[in-house]
Amino acid sequence: MSNSFSTPDNLEPEAGFTPASAIAQAANDLRNAAGEKARELVHTAEDKAAALKERAVESAQYFRETAAERATQFKAAATEKASAFKHAAADKAEHFRETANEQWQDTRVRAKELHVTAEDYIRQNPTKSVLGALGVGFLIGLIVRR
Protein backbone atom coordinates (compact mmCIF):
# COMPACT_ATOMS: atom_id res chain seq x y z
CA MET A 1 0.00 0.00 0.00
CA SER A 2 1.22 3.41 -0.76
CA ASN A 3 1.31 6.36 1.60
CA SER A 4 -0.92 9.19 0.38
CA PHE A 5 1.35 11.82 1.91
CA SER A 6 4.52 10.94 0.10
CA THR A 7 5.25 10.17 -3.48
CA PRO A 8 8.16 8.32 -4.84
CA ASP A 9 10.53 10.38 -6.89
CA ASN A 10 9.71 8.65 -10.14
CA LEU A 11 5.91 9.15 -9.89
CA GLU A 12 3.96 12.23 -10.81
CA PRO A 13 2.16 13.98 -7.98
CA GLU A 14 -1.55 13.38 -7.70
CA ALA A 15 -3.96 16.12 -8.53
CA GLY A 16 -4.15 18.75 -5.72
CA PHE A 17 -0.95 17.56 -4.20
CA THR A 18 2.15 19.84 -4.19
CA PRO A 19 5.61 18.66 -3.62
CA ALA A 20 7.48 19.72 -0.44
CA SER A 21 9.97 21.81 -2.40
CA ALA A 22 7.11 23.87 -3.86
CA ILE A 23 5.67 24.39 -0.38
CA ALA A 24 9.08 25.36 0.94
CA GLN A 25 9.51 27.76 -1.98
CA ALA A 26 6.05 29.28 -1.33
CA ALA A 27 6.89 29.61 2.38
CA ASN A 28 10.16 31.33 1.49
CA ASP A 29 8.37 33.64 -0.92
CA LEU A 30 5.76 34.43 1.74
CA ARG A 31 8.47 35.02 4.35
CA ASN A 32 10.37 37.29 1.94
CA ALA A 33 7.19 39.21 1.11
CA ALA A 34 6.37 39.57 4.83
CA GLY A 35 9.93 40.71 5.53
CA GLU A 36 9.75 43.23 2.69
CA LYS A 37 6.40 44.50 3.94
CA ALA A 38 7.82 44.74 7.50
CA ARG A 39 10.81 46.71 6.16
CA GLU A 40 8.42 49.01 4.30
CA LEU A 41 6.37 49.50 7.49
CA VAL A 42 9.52 50.18 9.52
CA HIS A 43 10.74 52.64 6.88
CA THR A 44 7.34 54.38 6.82
CA ALA A 45 7.25 54.51 10.63
CA GLU A 46 10.79 55.92 10.71
CA ASP A 47 9.84 58.57 8.13
CA LYS A 48 6.74 59.52 10.11
CA ALA A 49 8.73 59.61 13.37
CA ALA A 50 11.37 61.81 11.74
CA ALA A 51 8.66 64.14 10.40
CA LEU A 52 7.01 64.30 13.84
CA LYS A 53 10.37 64.98 15.47
CA GLU A 54 11.08 67.75 12.97
CA ARG A 55 7.64 69.29 13.59
CA ALA A 56 8.17 69.08 17.35
CA VAL A 57 11.56 70.77 17.05
CA GLU A 58 10.07 73.49 14.82
CA SER A 59 7.18 73.99 17.25
CA ALA A 60 9.55 74.18 20.21
CA GLN A 61 11.72 76.70 18.36
CA TYR A 62 8.63 78.75 17.43
CA PHE A 63 7.42 78.75 21.05
CA ARG A 64 10.89 79.67 22.28
CA GLU A 65 11.13 82.57 19.83
CA THR A 66 7.59 83.70 20.64
CA ALA A 67 8.30 83.55 24.37
CA ALA A 68 11.53 85.51 23.95
CA GLU A 69 9.72 88.10 21.83
CA ARG A 70 6.92 88.41 24.39
CA ALA A 71 9.45 88.73 27.21
CA THR A 72 11.25 91.48 25.31
CA GLN A 73 7.94 93.27 24.69
CA PHE A 74 6.98 92.90 28.36
CA LYS A 75 10.37 94.22 29.46
CA ALA A 76 10.09 97.20 27.12
CA ALA A 77 6.56 97.97 28.34
CA ALA A 78 7.61 97.62 31.98
CA THR A 79 10.63 99.87 31.41
CA GLU A 80 8.42 102.44 29.70
CA LYS A 81 5.87 102.33 32.56
CA ALA A 82 8.63 102.59 35.17
CA SER A 83 10.11 105.57 33.36
CA ALA A 84 6.68 107.23 33.17
CA PHE A 85 6.12 106.60 36.90
CA LYS A 86 9.57 107.96 37.68
CA HIS A 87 8.92 111.15 35.73
CA ALA A 88 5.46 111.54 37.29
CA ALA A 89 6.90 111.04 40.78
CA ALA A 90 9.69 113.55 40.07
CA ASP A 91 7.12 116.07 38.81
CA LYS A 92 4.97 115.55 41.91
CA ALA A 93 7.99 115.84 44.21
CA GLU A 94 9.01 119.06 42.50
CA HIS A 95 5.46 120.41 42.81
CA PHE A 96 5.36 119.50 46.54
CA ARG A 97 8.79 121.08 47.05
CA GLU A 98 7.68 124.30 45.36
CA THR A 99 4.41 124.38 47.33
CA ALA A 100 6.22 123.73 50.63
CA ASN A 101 8.79 126.40 49.81
CA GLU A 102 6.02 128.89 49.01
CA GLN A 103 4.22 128.02 52.26
CA TRP A 104 7.46 128.39 54.22
CA GLN A 105 8.16 131.76 52.66
CA ASP A 106 4.58 132.91 53.41
CA THR A 107 4.91 131.72 57.01
CA ARG A 108 8.24 133.52 57.44
CA VAL A 109 6.77 136.72 56.03
CA ARG A 110 3.73 136.48 58.33
CA ALA A 111 5.95 135.72 61.34
CA LYS A 112 8.12 138.77 60.55
CA GLU A 113 5.01 140.90 60.14
CA LEU A 114 3.62 139.62 63.46
CA HIS A 115 6.97 140.27 65.12
CA VAL A 116 7.13 143.81 63.76
CA THR A 117 3.49 144.43 64.76
CA ALA A 118 4.13 143.06 68.28
CA GLU A 119 7.25 145.24 68.67
CA ASP A 120 5.33 148.30 67.53
CA TYR A 121 2.50 147.53 69.97
CA ILE A 122 4.92 146.97 72.84
CA ARG A 123 6.74 150.25 72.03
CA GLN A 124 3.47 152.15 71.87
CA ASN A 125 1.95 150.48 75.01
CA PRO A 126 4.77 149.38 77.33
CA THR A 127 2.70 149.39 80.52
CA LYS A 128 -0.10 147.29 79.09
CA SER A 129 2.43 144.89 77.64
CA VAL A 130 4.30 144.39 80.91
CA LEU A 131 1.06 143.95 82.90
CA GLY A 132 -0.28 141.55 80.26
CA ALA A 133 2.97 139.54 80.37
CA LEU A 134 2.80 139.40 84.18
CA GLY A 135 -0.84 138.22 84.01
CA VAL A 136 -0.05 135.52 81.47
CA GLY A 137 2.97 134.40 83.49
CA PHE A 138 0.86 134.25 86.66
CA LEU A 139 -1.78 132.09 84.92
CA ILE A 140 0.85 129.76 83.55
CA GLY A 141 2.39 129.45 87.01
CA LEU A 142 -1.01 128.51 88.49
CA ILE A 143 -1.63 125.91 85.80
CA VAL A 144 1.82 124.37 86.24
CA ARG A 145 1.44 124.09 90.03
CA ARG A 146 -1.77 122.09 89.78
Residue 110's pLDDT band, with cuts at 50, 70 and 90, is very high
Computed on alpha carbons and rounded to an integer, the radius of gyration of the chain in Å comes to: 56
The pLDDT score that the predictor gives to residue 94 is 95
Q: Which residues contact 65 (CB under 8 A, 6 or more apart)?
A: none
Number of CB atoms found within 10 A of residue 7's CB: 15
The pLDDT score that the predictor gives to residue 113 is 95
Number of CB atoms found within 10 A of residue 129's CB: 14
For residue 58, CA distances in Å to 27, 48, 65, 92 come to 46, 15, 10, 50
The pLDDT score that the predictor gives to residue 19 is 80
Residue 11's pLDDT band, with cuts at 50, 70 and 90, is very low
The pLDDT score that the predictor gives to residue 52 is 94
Q: What is the pTM assigned to this prediction?
A: 0.43
The pLDDT score that the predictor gives to residue 93 is 95
Average pLDDT over residues 40-69: 93
Average pLDDT over residues 90-108: 96
